[in-house]
A and B are shown apart, each in its own frame.
Chain A
Amino acid sequence: MGLTADSTGLRAVDRGLILEKQSPRDRIIALAGNPNVGKSTVFNQLTGLHQHTGNWPGKTVANVQGRHTYRGRDYILVDIPGTYSLMAHSAEEEVARNFVCFGKPDGVVVVCDATCLERNLNLVLQILEVTHRVVVCVNLMDEAKKKKIQLDLPLLEKRLGVPVVGVTARSRRGMEELMERVEEVSTPRYLATPCQVAYPAAIEAAVARIQPVVAPLLEGKTDSRWAALRLLEGEKSLLRELDQALPQPVSKDPVVKQAVASSCEVLAKEGIGQQELPDRIVGSLVETAEELCQGVVTRQESRAAALDRKLDLLFTSRKTGIPIMLLLLAGILWLTITGANYPSQLLSDFLFSFQDHLTALFVSLGAPDWLHGLVVLGMYRVLAWVVSVMLPPMAIFFPLFTLLEDFGYLPRVAFNLDRCFQRACACGKQSLTMCMGFGCNAAGVVGCRIIDSPRERLIAILTNSFVPCNGRFPTLITLITIFFTAGLTQPAGSLVSTLMLTGVIVLGVGVTFGVSKLLSHTLLKGVPSSFALELPPYRRPQVGRVIVRSVFDRTLYVLGRAVVIAAPAGMVIWLMANLSVGGESLLTLCSGFLDPLGRVMGLDGVILLAFILGFPANEIVIPIMVMTYLSAGTLNQTENLSQLHQLLTAQGWTWLTALNTILFSLMHWPCSTTCLTIYKETKSVKWTLLAIGIPTAIGMTTCIGTTLIARIFGLA
């Protein structure tokens, strides 16, 4: 259901997973599965939480936990990132693997896609090698029905030897039965003999040799057959985790080492060297999955799949792919701009008229002037500004964006733009992380975990702030509408605004390509690594629910930010404006100090100061500017959006000032939360400083450039 308040801002920061059993009776259940099979939807339905869901692979990149009570017992459900296999390739897959293999869950629910069951069984089979406490949850049964795919789940259950439940998580169908089976498998005395993958005889013989040597060392903590297979494969990161999970490092045990080495030799003689071994193992898994599905899955020709291909031709073909992409972007922006206008005005009228009532209240209570200033002129006014400017555009933009996301359009964007990223020696999945950046750059940065190559992931992290986030978007819209299109009649005005805003975003994307390329040729040298992206089937979004949920969620998010960040910031600004050193207010002193630099950039000291003070959150940049100008005392009443233009021009703003502010808003340091997230994700001060330095340097250079050009040509 799109980015949610639970998955953006500070909550996007992965704090690691600390599972808390409130009672020893509680059970921990992992939700595993391939990417984009609806794990998070199942999770949300059971826990009542609102994790980010949408139709594209890679939304969940960290473990998230929630609770579900079933028959008087609490189940701690852990939503883990999607993965095609337990052989991890990327950071997010490693998170998934480690939890299933070493997190000691009391049970694992493997969520599968009913329309693509065979491939999903590959992971099921791998997890069955780790634990027998597994429920196979076949989700998207409604989609399968639409595609005329018939599934004989009782037969599959018989073949697999563990419970199989068909569900449609979106409409809660089958959840009760799912929990019933979860209860069954997580009971301590539950026993099952699940289906075992038969590997080629030589591999089975090697496993049989190692298994008895390893078994006593595992102390029942891990399955010995599984451990023997992994020791044979010798994958380093997995063995490191395995050693850590056990009382003694099993892979370093001399007897085990010897058994593994001699088994590898025997295998090599039979033509299965270190290179062929993983191939044979995967081959057996895939073939077993194929056999399991025979008679279980019956497909009939359906129009649904053909429709998907037709839509793909429309959205991704050479002629129509990119024009449609731009049209969709512009369309959403147009609806946002035109739609936000009226409610913004309404909200600002309402909130600012309420300010008079507040003042009256303070006067009648005989409150001192400083208290009135601090609370009403400081806190309340900034809060009112943030809510009226930020809320309407976000409450319109997000539901629309989420509809596209649920429909399955985002992976097509990544597909269309991949060539550009390839030229920049970066990863096409960067488009997906950029899309998340629209909501919140911190969420975008965490999302970069879907990128396998560490080098490409760093590039995506360092450039994510070139996508204007939630907090900057309304700033852009406000400045464009009041400075560039205010004089135009509708609908021309909103069309020009849309074009300009689209231009700003395209510029941000262009800069992202440029900087990615630059990084690939300098600090992060390398060639593009491999890339495989699944283009999932289109799904009809649940329009009503998305809109209600998303509007509600954005409203909460913006209000939350307003209270937590804007209100305290308002207080600080008011204090700075009213505390004076040597006859001048702190605010005037600071902005005066920054003024020369600001002027070179075609801005002024106040604007720069507002960006600096806006470090905690970009939402408050415009309110800070307004407060600062107001405290300078030329106009003492600006309680309405339409008066903003007057206020700013009175302070010497021209179109060039507005343009530079827009450019600098697009390209400057990321907000504090994003910086913190970058540090957490890269664990490096150097990369965090670079993530601040690169956009700042580009923003400053651009502003200085435009100012010079405009002055040389006498345009401003």
Chain B
Amino acid sequence: MKHMLALSELTEGQKGKVFQNNGVGGMRRRLQDIGLIPGTEVKRLQASPLGDPCAYQIRGAVIALRQQDACRILVETL
């Protein structure tokens, strides 16, 4: 059962595959530069102590993203 979610909606430890990057401006490009393009597998890691931002594993690197940015990335759950 695959379904679409925003990246920010993944639960801790859950994996997803990027479907669409709806980021705007510089952030869109920055995420692409670190390899976040459609088809890329992403794993949600821990949240920070105050709940936002969250850490994500993207192509072997750990990247912290704020909720407001992560919610613009659509993923298919795996």
Does A535 contact B29, Cβ atoms closer than 8 Å? no
Residue of B nearest to A318 (CB): B49
Residue of B nearest to A321 (CB): B49
Does B30 contact A122, Cβ atoms closer than 8 Å? no
24 residue pairs of the A-B complex, CB under 8 angstroms, read A85-B29, A89-B26, A116-B59, A119-B35, A119-B61, A282-B37, A283-B32, A283-B37, A312-B46, A317-B49, A318-B51, A322-B49, A415-B48, A418-B52, A418-B53, A428-B64, A528-B66, A529-B27, A530-B68, A532-B63, A533-B64, A534-B34, A535-B62, A535-B63
Residue of A nearest to B67 (CB): A422
Does B48 contact A116, Cβ atoms closer than 8 Å? no
The residue that B29 contacts in the complex, of A87, A119, A321, with Cβ under 8 A, is A87
Q: Which residues between 477 and 501 of chain A lie within 8 Å of chain B, taking CB atoms?
A: none
Task: Using A282-B29, A420-B50, A428-B66 as known contacts, list a sample of 9 further A-B pairs with CB atoms less than 8 Å apart, ordered by residue number in A.
Answer: A89-B30, A119-B35, A312-B46, A415-B48, A415-B55, A428-B53, A534-B62, A534-B64, A535-B63
A452 vs B29: C-alpha distance in the bound complex, in angstroms? 13
Q: How large is the interface on B (under 10, 10 to 19, 20 to 34, 35 or more residues)?
A: 35 or more
Does B63 contact A282, Cβ atoms closer than 8 Å? no
Given the known inter-chain contacts A312-B62, A313-B46, A316-B46, please indicate yes or no for A286 contacting B53, CB distance below 8 A.
no
A411 vs B35: C-alpha distance in the bound complex, in angstroms? 20
Note all chain A residues with C-beta closer than 8 A to B49: 316-319, 321-322, 416, 419
Interface pairs A-B: 5 shortest CB-CB = A530-B27, A419-B50, A321-B49, A85-B33, A84-B33
Residues 11-53 of chain B, each 1 if its beta carbon lies under 8 Å from chain A, else 0: 0000000000101011101111111011010000111111111
In this assembly, does A309 line the interface, its C-beta being within 8 Å of a C-beta of chain B? yes
CB distance from A477 to the nearest CB of B (A): 29
In this assembly, does A531 line the interface, its C-beta being within 8 Å of a C-beta of chain B? yes
Residues of A near any B CB (own CB < 8 A):
84-85, 87, 89, 115-116, 118-119, 122, 278-279, 282-283, 286-287, 289, 308-309, 312-313, 316-319, 321-322, 411, 414-416, 418-420, 422, 428, 452, 528-537
A582 vs B40: C-alpha distance in the bound complex, in angstroms? 80
CB distance from B15 to the nearest CB of A (A): 14
The residue that B66 contacts in the complex, of A115, A313, A530, with Cβ under 8 A, is A530
A628 vs B22: C-alpha distance in the bound complex, in angstroms? 64
CB distance from A87 to the nearest CB of B (A): 6
A312 vs B26: C-alpha distance in the bound complex, in angstroms? 28
Does A278 contact B29, Cβ atoms closer than 8 Å? yes
Residues of B near any A CB (own CB < 8 A):
21, 23, 25-27, 29-35, 37-38, 40, 45-53, 55, 59-66, 68-69
Most buried by A among B37, B45, B65: B37
Does A119 contact B59, Cβ atoms closer than 8 Å? yes
- Please report the number of residue pairs spanning A and B whose Cβ atoms sit closer than 8 angstroms: 130
Does B48 contact A418, Cβ atoms closer than 8 Å? yes
A452 vs B25: C-alpha distance in the bound complex, in angstroms? 12
Does A116 contact B45, Cβ atoms closer than 8 Å? no
Does B55 contact A116, Cβ atoms closer than 8 Å? no
A319 vs B65: C-alpha distance in the bound complex, in angstroms? 20
A414 vs B64: C-alpha distance in the bound complex, in angstroms? 10
The residue that B23 contacts in the complex, of A84, A313, A420, A530, with Cβ under 8 A, is A530
Most buried by A among B31, B32, B55, B69: B32
Given the known inter-chain contacts A309-B45, A530-B23, please indicate yes or no for A118 contacting B30, CB distance below 8 A.
no
Given the known inter-chain contacts A312-B62, A534-B62, please indicate yes or no for A286 contacting B52, CB distance below 8 A.
no
Does B61 contact A116, Cβ atoms closer than 8 Å? yes
The residue that A122 contacts in the complex, of B25, B33, B62, with Cβ under 8 A, is B33
Note all chain B residues with C-beta closer than 8 A to A419: 48-53
A118 vs B35: C-alpha distance in the bound complex, in angstroms? 9
CB distance from B76 to the nearest CB of A (A): 17
Does B61 contact A530, Cβ atoms closer than 8 Å? no
CB distance from B10 to the nearest CB of A (A): 16
The residue that A312 contacts in the complex, of B33, B55, B61, B69, with Cβ under 8 A, is B55
Note all chain A residues with C-beta closer than 8 A to B50: 416, 418-420
Note all chain A residues with C-beta closer than 8 A to B33: 84-85, 87, 122, 282
Residue of B nearest to A312 (CB): B46
CB distance from B12 to the nearest CB of A (A): 10
A211 vs B55: C-alpha distance in the bound complex, in angstroms? 42
Note all chain A residues with C-beta closer than 8 A to B52: 418-419, 422
CB distance from A203 to the nearest CB of B (A): 16
Does A119 contact B34, Cβ atoms closer than 8 Å? yes
The residue that B64 contacts in the complex, of A115, A116, A287, A418, with Cβ under 8 A, is A418
A270 vs B8: C-alpha distance in the bound complex, in angstroms? 33
Note all chain A residues with C-beta closer than 8 A to B26: 89, 452, 529-530
CB distance from B60 to the nearest CB of A (A): 5
The residue that B55 contacts in the complex, of A115, A119, A316, with Cβ under 8 A, is A316
Note all chain A residues with C-beta closer than 8 A to B45: 309, 312
A370 vs B67: C-alpha distance in the bound complex, in angstroms? 67
A395 vs B71: C-alpha distance in the bound complex, in angstroms? 46
Given the known inter-chain contacts A119-B35, A119-B60, A419-B51, please indicate yes or no for A89 contacting B65, CB distance below 8 A.
no
Residue of A nearest to B29 (CB): A87
CB distance from A64 to the nearest CB of B (A): 24
Does B69 contact A535, Cβ atoms closer than 8 Å? no
Most buried by B among A318, A428, A530: A530
A419 vs B37: C-alpha distance in the bound complex, in angstroms? 26
CB distance from A200 to the nearest CB of B (A): 13
Note all chain A residues with C-beta closer than 8 A to B47: 318
A116 vs B35: C-alpha distance in the bound complex, in angstroms? 11
A532 vs B64: C-alpha distance in the bound complex, in angstroms? 6
Given the known inter-chain contacts A282-B37, A321-B49, please indicate yes or no for A532 contacting B30, CB distance below 8 A.
yes
Residue of A nearest to B25 (CB): A530
A452 vs B28: C-alpha distance in the bound complex, in angstroms? 13
CB distance from B38 to the nearest CB of A (A): 8
CB distance from B26 to the nearest CB of A (A): 4
CB distance from A174 to the nearest CB of B (A): 22
A428 vs B55: C-alpha distance in the bound complex, in angstroms? 14
Residue of A nearest to B66 (CB): A531
CB distance from B65 to the nearest CB of A (A): 6
Does A115 contact B60, Cβ atoms closer than 8 Å? yes
Note all chain A residues with C-beta closer than 8 A to B62: 308, 312, 534-537
Note all chain A residues with C-beta closer than 8 A to B31: 532
A533 vs B21: C-alpha distance in the bound complex, in angstroms? 18
Given the known inter-chain contacts A84-B34, A321-B48, please indicate yes or no for A533 contacting B29, CB distance below 8 A.
no
A118 vs B60: C-alpha distance in the bound complex, in angstroms? 9
A531 vs B50: C-alpha distance in the bound complex, in angstroms? 16
Note all chain A residues with C-beta closer than 8 A to B34: 84, 119, 532, 534
Does B48 contact A533, Cβ atoms closer than 8 Å? no
A422 vs B60: C-alpha distance in the bound complex, in angstroms? 26
Note all chain A residues with C-beta closer than 8 A to B69: 530-532
Residue of A nearest to B55 (CB): A535
A287 vs B39: C-alpha distance in the bound complex, in angstroms? 10
The residue that A528 contacts in the complex, of B29, B59, B60, B68, with Cβ under 8 A, is B68
